Structure formats: C-alpha cells, structure tokens
Amino acid sequence: MKKTVAILLIVLSAILVFPLTSLATGEVLSYIEDEAGLLNEMQRAVLENRAEQMSNKYHCDIRIVTVDNMADFGYRNIEDFSYSLYVDYNLGYGQDKDCAMLVLSMADRDYDFRVWGSHAKTVFTLYGIDNLLDKYLLKELGDNYYNSAFTVLLDRAETYFEMAEKGRPFDSGTDPARITKKIVVAVIISLLIALAVCLVWKSQMKTAKIAKTATNYIPQGGFRLTGQGDIYLYRTVTRSKIQRNTSVGGGASSGGRGGSSGRSGKF
C-alpha cells in the first residue's frame, strides 16, 4: 500500500512539474498541437482535419503548435524551440522533410513561422511569408482571434500551394493584389498625361484671321539674305540613376535553423 501511494505521489509530482506531457519526446505531434488551450475541442478538430488533408494533398507538413511558455522546455529563443520540435518529432513530408510550422509561446507572446525543405521554400517565398504575416496573420493574433488566425493561415497556405502547382509561386511578381495596383496606377498616369497634352493643345489654340498677303511679315525696304551659318542653341543630356541593392530589416529570412526560411517576433 505504501509503495502504491509513493508511486502515485511520484506521478502526481511529474504532472505538476511537467504539465505539457503531450509534447514529451517520443510522442506523436498533432497537426494542431494546442497546449496553450487557445481553441475549444471542436475548433481544434476542424483545423486538425483540414491541416492533415492539406499536408497529404500538397506533400508538405503543415503544423501549428501553441505552448504557455517555451521556457518550460528549456528554451529562451523561439527559433531554437521551433527547430527542436521539427527535429525531435521527426516532422516533415517525404525525403526532403518539407514542413511549414507556426509556433506560439504565450508567456511573452512570441511567434515563429518557419519552413524547411526545398518544396516548402518554393511555395513559401520570403515575400510570401512577409505578406502572410503582415497582411493576415499577425493582426488576428494581436487581437486574440486564434481560431480565425489559424484558419486564415491554412487559407493562405492553400492559395500558395495552388499557385506553386501552376508554376507561379506567390511572390512580388505574381501577387495578384500588387499586379492589380500596378495596372490601376498605369491607367491613372496615362489618363493624366493625356489630359495634360489636351490642355496644352487647347491653350495654344487662338483665334486668328487669315491674311491675304504677307505684307505684315516683310520688313520695310524689303528682305535680303546677306549670310548664313549654324548656331548651336540647345543640347540634350540623358542621365540614368544607378540602382543600389538594399534590404530592409525585420522581414522573412533564409538560412535559419536547419537551413530554414522564416520569421519570428512578437504578436
């Protein structure tokens, strides 16, 4: 009896010290591993089913992991924690271990979105990662709309996969919103130029009577040509600006943990 009580006390102590047992080494990680309890069970089940189907369809692991505090696992850096999850749980699809994963640590509101594998990097370009985070994901996370955030993540991921399958991965040159904006700007500029030309032409149109003779244009005493020569009046100089290769900090980057691409920060 005393031995049984002792064993129960040891088990209880382990639970209190290590509450995140489903993330223990050796366990199978769910596609939606919500240790922080941000979702209800129905929300998690719907997202889990969709993430699993997308992973199998597009041959790339899609994972979302939330924890209360990554420090409980001995990590202070969210990128190191993500890489540890990727390696320890043997994540990734196929030989190249393609994986796209969002990790949240709620204690200090840290996030990391990271991809591994050549296929995943082709689908999730650096531009695409920044667009996903800045335009869609971080706003929802910042407002604590976690189910909405994870849903939009899967929505955008599906769009990226479909574009990549058509040979046009989501990037600065294939972003539909950016292309539409360029077309609108080009049309507006063309209309403004046409308007300016019409206004200039209109300003030059003056009412004048047709003269029957050229008397008004002949100087008194007649016209004589006494000499001729070339006079240099104008010159045209064309200059081209030399573009410099610059980069802005804070965006997605490649060459991270385990040769990954991704971005981390606060939400």
- Report the pLDDT value the prediction gives residue 177, as an integer from 0 to 100: 81
The backbone torsions φ and ψ at residue 102, rounded to the nearest 5 degrees and listed phi first, read -105, 130
State percent of the chain over pLDDT 70: 63
Residue 208 in this model has a pLDDT that exceeds 60: no
- Report the pLDDT value the prediction gives residue 220, as an integer from 0 to 100: 66
What is the tens place of the pLDDT at every residue in 150-185? 999 999 999 999 999 999 999 999 998 864 443 434
The backbone torsions φ and ψ at residue 233, rounded to the nearest 5 degrees and listed phi first, read -105, -45
What are the structural domains, with CATH classification, of the chain? 29-174+257-266 (3.10.310.50)
- Report the pLDDT value the prediction gives residue 209, as an integer from 0 to 100: 59
- In the block, which residue shows the tokens 């010290």? 17
Where is mean pLDDT largest: 3-7, 99-103, 213-217, 233-237?
99-103
Question: Helix/strand/coil (H, E, C) string of 47-95?
Answer: HHHHHHHHHHHHCCEEEEEEECCHHHHCCCCHHHHHHHHHHHCCCCECC
- Report the pLDDT value the prediction gives residue 258, as an integer from 0 to 100: 84
Counting beta carbons within 10 angstroms of the beta carbon of residue 241, is it exposed (0 to 12), middle (13 to 18) or buried (19 or more)?
exposed
What is the tens place of the pLDDT at every residue in 85-127? 999 999 999 999 999 999 999 999 999 999 999 999 999 999 9
Q: How far is CA 60 from CA 52, 170, 201, in A?
A: 10, 16, 61
Q: Mean pLDDT score of the chain, rounded to an integer?
A: 79
Alpha carbons 205 and 116: distance in angstroms, whole number: 67
Q: Please check whether residue 103 is in contact with residue 65, taking contact to mean a CB–CB distance below 8 angstroms.
A: yes
- In the block, which residue shows the tokens 């990734």? 92
DSSP structure class, residue 186? H
